[in-house]
Amino acid sequence: MGRRETDGGELVPGTLDMLILKAVANGSLHGYAIAEWIHERSHDVLRVDEGALYPALHRLELRGMLAAEWGVSENNRRAKYYGLTREGREHLGLEKERWARLSSAIGFVMESA
Amino acid sequence: MGETLIRYRIRDGERMNKQSLREGLLRIVALFRRARGERDMADELAFHLAMKQQKYIKQRGLNSTDAMAVAKRELGGVEKWKEACRDVNRARAIEDLARDLALAARMLRKTPAFTAAALLTLTLAIGSNTAIFSLINAVLLRPLNVPAAHQLTVLRIQPADSFGYAFSYPLFKYLEKDTHVFSHTFGFAGRNLQIHTANGVERIPGQLVSGHYFSALQVNPQLGRYITPSDDRPGVPSGAVAVISDRFWRNWFNASPKVLGQAIALNNVVVTVVGVMPEGFTGADRDQQPDVFVPMETEPLMDAPYSNIAAGMQANWFNVGARLHDGITLERAAAYLRSSSRAIYKAIAPEEEFRFSGNTHAELYVTTEPGITGYSYLRLRFTKPFSLIMALVILVLFVACLNLATLLMARASSRERELATRLALGASRGRLMRQLLTESLLLAMLGTALGSATAPFAANLLTLFLASPDPLQPTLNITPDLRVFAFTAIVAALATILTGLAPALRSTGRNLQAPIREGCGTLRGTERRRLWPNVLSAAEVAFALMLITGASLLGFSLVKLHRIPVGFDPQGLVFLQFDMSKQSRDGKALIQIYRDIETGLAAMPGITSVSFVDMAPLYGSWWTGDVATPGNPPHELFRNHVGPEYFRAMRTPLLGGREFRWSDTDESGRVAIINEAAARILFPSANPVGQRIAFDGGKTLADVVGVVADAKYAELRDSAPPAVYSSITQDMKNRLSLQAIVRLRNGTSPVSVVASAGRAIRKLDDEIPPPVATTMEQTISQALSTERMMASLGLFFAGVALLITGIGLYGTLTYTTARRTGEIGIRIAIGARRGDVIGLVCRANVGVALAGCVGGLLASLATSRLIASFLYNTSPKDPVILGTSALVLICVAVTASLLPAIRASRIDPITAIRYE
């Protein structure tokens, strides 16, 4: 238990922001839920490092991609919810396209004979 | 249409309430507060950890403590996590600042006229504040350059006027012995000494110092030793020693270590150099900076043929200071001296009739004053004037900063649409405010930098006001030190906060989106925020008016002082001060040389008349003595020795009798001339000419041969005192050093006359040093130098304030009028006349100016007591001066407001409405 579970669950560098934006695209979530959401949706493959998650959230908030709001969580605690701004949504769209291009390009390369 | 606009205005006026102001201020506070951010961060972390804990309890069946421990471990350290989050904020803040600065710089560049005006006013305000403070620092605050200067005290005799700082030798000798509260008590007296060189006689600044002087100041010589009590014993003419300054050592001895043991002749006394003081040592009187220190006991030799030491209690001639024992407070020392003074006075002056400044034994006592700055005549003289000037320049600072604040505010409101757009696009309110603050910050920083850069030049200019007429006196050291830098920082902070008021108060507007919806040309946006700009503008006007009234009062007072009739004609009058003390003639021979000098001078072209006087009027020295008519008690009257034809040279009317003549000798019988005031006292009913008066307690009798008109003598501000004149040809004291008074023909330059007089005198006797020349106008101007300094600085700053206020009113009105282009266009379209428009635009500013003037006048009246003591024959509540000042200011305000108003009245309605 002492070691982090790093069985291939590290994120591809530079993709965290995009994943976060995607996570909140359908409604505001708090930080913990964002990490869980990414974990679940990746079929338990991707693990978001908490040490990187929150700085990333704050950075996105300061850049105006996310809007944060304090709310009450499902278990009745004060929690900070992050939601997508218009700017964030635009950015997410661009990132998505870029990622699709990039991943298919990598696929072409890897599958070539 | 016009009515609709007016209705809007009323509604908006109601909306302006206190709450919006408070909210705005709270928001500013939040800007500078990190605490909330930290708390939020901790909350967010706690929530995250709690969720994980829950998950592990559920999934892995851990107890809550273990679950939390695992959660924390996975996080990789709470502090590390927090630091990572903080870094995000910091990086962002730096980025923002850089961007804000760049944007601010761009905005400032885009409006060069605004920026130039803003920087100029700030530079002036901060520069003058720093310059004045540098002077205050140099004259009033800078401690003496000695170890533990706070332990030093200056002794003073009470109750007494300014002479309380001058001690007699017997009193000092008693104080010196007493080491109850002081470790050392020391005396010192400045003397300009003559030193013989290959080129004749030169004068150097020196100081007579008592035996404990150096041990009390605790400064060691860089070479040799200093003067000790064993050097300061009576009757040591052969073994007299001297300690010299670093400067003297370098200039005269080429910094050679062989200087020790060398003999130098000072005032014909041979002394041996035993030590060299380190650089920067000025002694206990910062104003003097002597080159040579000699023991006090050499005074009879240095001052020969006089001796202040021999004069005992009659001569009060030097300053006394002391160093407190460790742990003794100034108050305790003062209390001790007060209790022991009576016994000392009884011991040194047993005669019951002893008086000092009119006080008896029982009333007199010695007290202590803080001596951290040493004894300084400049400090005593300039403490009050400098405080007044400091107050004036602080007013200038207020005016400049408020002006900038209103200008920035007006400009910000003209950028309302830009700001609203950015807000709508998601910029946070905090970001916008920071942006606006950055602009004023940048301005304030640039202004401070420019102001601080110019301050030393300004301060140097100002020292000219303080320059002493004595060329041997050192110039003031105004190099800035920590205190000056600290002061500049405070002024800069004040300037920033005051100018920052603009954007800060601006953000109190509740609804920045409004301008977009409404369009930017309507009244709604303007009127809502009219209150604060108006309050600031009115405050600016009020401060400016305080400055103007203060300066006018000082100016009027100075004019009155200059118009005082002095009783003689100062124009074209030159005084040549001779120093006869060190040449060998005496008595008749000396009178003869004066006569030769007169003949020589009178023959020179450009000189119409020549005479002599012992104590030149208004020069700072005078003489009083008992004068009586036979059989009556004496009166203390002013006395003087004057030469033949003195009153003709002075152009003081001779009312009866005759002037002195060279033929009035001791053998021909003593004669005297009295003035009208003295005649009224001595001979209320009789014609004084031919009467007899007695001096020196009846020992000397003299015939009154003439009566002259009254003339000023000791003090320009006092009325002409009763005076009795004796002839220089009689009762000649030992080697009396007289001043030749020379009246120049109109248009003759004093410089050329002085040069040729010097040559003529050297021909007569090269033992006599060249005379020091002063014109009477210089003397009067010197006597009024403090007043002139205050008045000129006051008027200068008042002019600056007037200019700044004018620019400010003009600028703000230009901005607000530009925003009302559409409205004005509509008004013109529906039939408003040019006059109506001018009135409409001007009205606001005139109201502000009037309100400001009322405030300023009230403030001037409230503070009139503070300035009253600086005024001569001028009431600080003089309605004419106050009224005129207000009128001048209102004229400037109206002129400044008319220009934008006239421009507005020329608006073409079609263009204006299309622009909308």
- Model pLDDT for residues A32-58, shown as the tens digit of each residue: 899 889 988 888 888 888 888 888 888
Nearest to B632 by CA among B679, B563, B555, B697: B697
**What residue in B sits closest to A74 (Cα-Cα)?**
B51
Q: How far is B48 from chain A (nearest CA, A)?
A: 6
Whole-angstrom CA distances from B562 to A10, B156, B558, B739, B783 are 91, 33, 6, 24, 10
Nearest to B806 by CA among B389, B399, B393: B399
Q: Do B88 and A59 touch (CB under 8 A)?
A: yes
Is pLDDT above 60 for A1? no
Is some CB atom of chain B closer than 8 A to the CB atom of A4?
yes
* 8 A C-beta contact, residue B630 and residue B790: no
Query: Phi and psi for B641 in degrees, rounded to 5?
Result: -105, 130
Is some CB atom of chain B closer than 8 A to the CB atom of A1?
yes
Enumerate residues 6+ apart whose C-beta is below 8 A from B610: B598, B601, B602, B645, B649, B740, B741, B742, B743
Residue type, A70: W
- Minimal Cβ distance to B426: which of A4, A49, A87: A87
- Minimal Cβ distance to A55: which of B54, B88, B427: B88
Q: What is the pLDDT of residues B180-218, one digit of tens each?
A: 999 999 999 999 898 877 777 788 999 999 999 999 999
List the alpha helices (DSSP H) in B309-415. Answer: 330-348, 377-414
Q: Do A78 and B47 touch (CB under 8 A)?
A: yes
pLDDT at res. B236: 61
Nearest to B222 by CA among B274, B187, B263: B274
Q: Do A85 and B426 touch (CB under 8 A)?
A: yes
Whole-angstrom CA distances from B126 to B175, B351, B449, B617, B731 are 47, 59, 9, 41, 59
**What residue in A sits closest to B85 (Cα-Cα)?**
A55
Is pLDDT above 90 for B852? yes
**What residue in B sits closest to A5 (Cα-Cα)?**
B74
Confidence of residue B734 (pLDDT cuts 50, 70, 90): low
pLDDT at res. B721: 92
Of B416-420, B566-570, B578-582, which one has max mean pLDDT? B566-570
Q: What residues form DSSP beta bridges with B637?
A: B625
Nearest to B852 by CA among B537, B547, B410, B403: B537
Chain A residues 87-106 with CB within 8 Å of chain B: 87
Is pLDDT above 60 for B846? yes
Whole-angstrom CA distances from B118 to B443, B694, B886, B893 are 7, 71, 25, 18
pLDDT at res. A5: 44
* 8 A C-beta contact, residue B408 and residue B503: yes
Residue type, B39: R
Confidence of residue B7 (pLDDT cuts 50, 70, 90): very low
Residues of A in contact with B44 (CB under 8 A): 31, 54, 79-80
pTM across the whole model: 0.72
Q: Do A54 and B84 touch (CB under 8 A)?
A: yes
Give CA–CA dist A84/A96, Å, rounded.
15
Q: Do A58 and B85 touch (CB under 8 A)?
A: yes
Q: What is the pLDDT of residues B137-172, one digit of tens each?
A: 988 888 888 999 999 999 999 886 656 898 999 999
Residues of A in contact with B87 (CB under 8 A): 55
- Minimal Cβ distance to A58: which of B52, B80, B88: B88
* 8 A C-beta contact, residue B115 and residue B188: no
**What residue in B sits closest to A77 (Cα-Cα)?**
B47
Strand, helix or coil for residue B602: helix
Give CA–CA dist B524/B13, Å, rounded.
9
pLDDT at res. B260: 94
More confident residue, B238 or B899: B899
Strand, helix or coil for residue A7: coil
**In B, what residues contact A, Cβ < 8 A?**
40, 43-45, 47-48, 50-52, 54, 70, 73-76, 80-81, 84-85, 87-89, 92, 426-427
Interface mutation vs chain B, best among A50, A73, A74, most B CBs within 10 Å: A50
Residues of A in contact with B424 (CB under 8 A): none
pLDDT at res. B26: 54
Residues of A in contact with B92 (CB under 8 A): 59, 62
Tokens for B4, please give them: 């609709």
Q: How far is B81 from chain A (nearest CA, A)?
A: 6
> What does R_g of chain B's alpha carbons equal in angstroms?
37
Residues of B in contact with A86 (CB under 8 A): 426
Q: What is the pLDDT of residues B477-535, one digit of tens each?
A: 777 788 888 998 888 888 877 777 665 666 545 454 444 444 444 444 444 556 777 88
B29, B34, B40, B41 alpha-carbon torsion, rounded to 10°: 170
pLDDT at res. B811: 85
Q: How far is A31 from chain B (nearest CA, A)?
A: 7
Choice among B112-116, B555-559, B705-709 with the minimum mean pLDDT = B112-116
Q: How far is A59 from chain B (nearest CA, A)?
A: 6
Residues of A in contact with B70 (CB under 8 A): 1
DSSP strand pairing (B692-695 vs B623-628): antiparallel
ipTM above 0.90, yes or no: no
Q: Would you mind telling me the total number of residues written for chain A in this entry? A: 113
Mean per-residue pLDDT, A4-8: 49
Residues of B in contact with A73 (CB under 8 A): 47, 51
Q: Do B47 and A58 touch (CB under 8 A)?
A: no
Q: What is the pLDDT of residues B25-59, one digit of tens each?
A: 555 555 555 566 778 888 888 888 888 888 888 88
More confident residue, B265 or B349: B265
Is pLDDT above 60 for B563? yes
- Minimal Cβ distance to B50: which of A2, A4, A77: A77
Nearest to B771 by CA among B760, B758, B759, B784: B758
Give CA–CA dist B49/B72, Å, rounded.
7
Give CA–CA dist B688/B657, Å, rounded.
9
- Minimal Cβ distance to A80: which of B40, B50, B88: B40
Chain-wide mean pLDDT for chain B?
Answer: 83
Give CA–CA dist B391/B546, Å, rounded.
11
Q: What is the pLDDT of residues B642-682, one digit of tens each?
A: 999 999 999 999 999 999 999 998 888 899 999 999 999 99
Between chain A and chain B, how many beta carbons pairs sit less than 8 Å apart? Answer: 61
Nearest to B533 by CA among B504, B491, B512, B513: B504
Is some CB atom of chain B closer than 8 A to the CB atom of A71?
no
More confident residue, B14 or B252: B252
Chain A residues 6-45 with CB within 8 Å of chain B: 30-32
Q: Do B76 and A59 touch (CB under 8 A)?
A: no
Cβ burial of B16 (10 Å; 0-12, 13-18, 19+) is middle
Neighbours of B746 (CB within 10 A): 8
Give CA–CA dist A46/A50, Å, rounded.
12
b/e code B844-863 from CB counts within 10 Å (16+ = b): bbbebbebbbebbbebbeee
Q: How far is A52 from chain B (nearest CA, A)?
A: 8
- Minimal Cβ distance to B81: which of A51, A85, A87: A51
Contacts of residues A22-28 at CB distance under 8 Å and 24 or more positions apart, as own/partner, are: A22/A92, A22/A96, A24/A66, A24/A82, A24/A83, A24/A84, A24/A88, A25/A84, A25/A89, A25/A92, A27/A83, A28/A69, A28/A71, A28/A81, A28/A82, A28/A83
Q: Do A73 and B47 touch (CB under 8 A)?
A: yes
Q: What is the pLDDT of residues B61-86, one digit of tens each?
A: 888 888 888 888 887 777 887 888 88
Q: How far is A73 from chain B (nearest CA, A)?
A: 9
Chain-wide mean pLDDT for chain A?
Answer: 84
Choice among A77-81, B654-658, B741-745 with the minimum mean pLDDT = A77-81
Mean per-residue pLDDT, B101-109: 86
Triad B887, B888, B890: Cα angle to 5°: 65
Q: How far is B76 from chain A (nearest CA, A)?
A: 7
* 8 A C-beta contact, residue B795 and residue B788: no
Q: What residues form DSSP beta bridges with B291?
A: none
Interface mutation vs chain A, best among B41, B44, B79, B99, most A CBs within 10 Å: B44
Choice among B79-88, B363-372, B888-897 with the minimum mean pLDDT = B79-88
Q: Do A62 and B74 touch (CB under 8 A)?
A: no
- Minimal Cβ distance to B47: which of A30, A52, A64: A30
Is pLDDT above 80 for B712? yes
Give CA–CA dist B905/B813, Å, rounded.
13
More confident residue, B65 or B584: B65
Its sign, for the CA torsion B413, B414, B420, B423, is: negative
Mean per-residue pLDDT, B428-450: 79
Tokens for B336, please give them: 């001790």
Interface mutation vs chain B, best among A3, A39, A60, A62, most B CBs within 10 Å: A62
Give CA–CA dist B357/B300, Å, rounded.
25
pLDDT at res. B15: 39
Enumerate residues 6+ apart whose C-beta is below 8 A from B480: B134, B137, B455, B456
Q: Do B44 and A50 touch (CB under 8 A)?
A: no
Residues of B in contact with A75 (CB under 8 A): 54
Q: How far is B49 from chain A (nearest CA, A)?
A: 9
For chain A, the distance separating the N- and C-terminal CA atoms, rounded to the nearest angstrom, is 41
Give CA–CA dist B26/B24, Å, rounded.
5
Where are any strands of DSSP class E within B629-771? 635-642, 654-657, 671-675, 692-695, 700-708, 723-727, 739-744
Q: Do B92 and A59 touch (CB under 8 A)?
A: yes
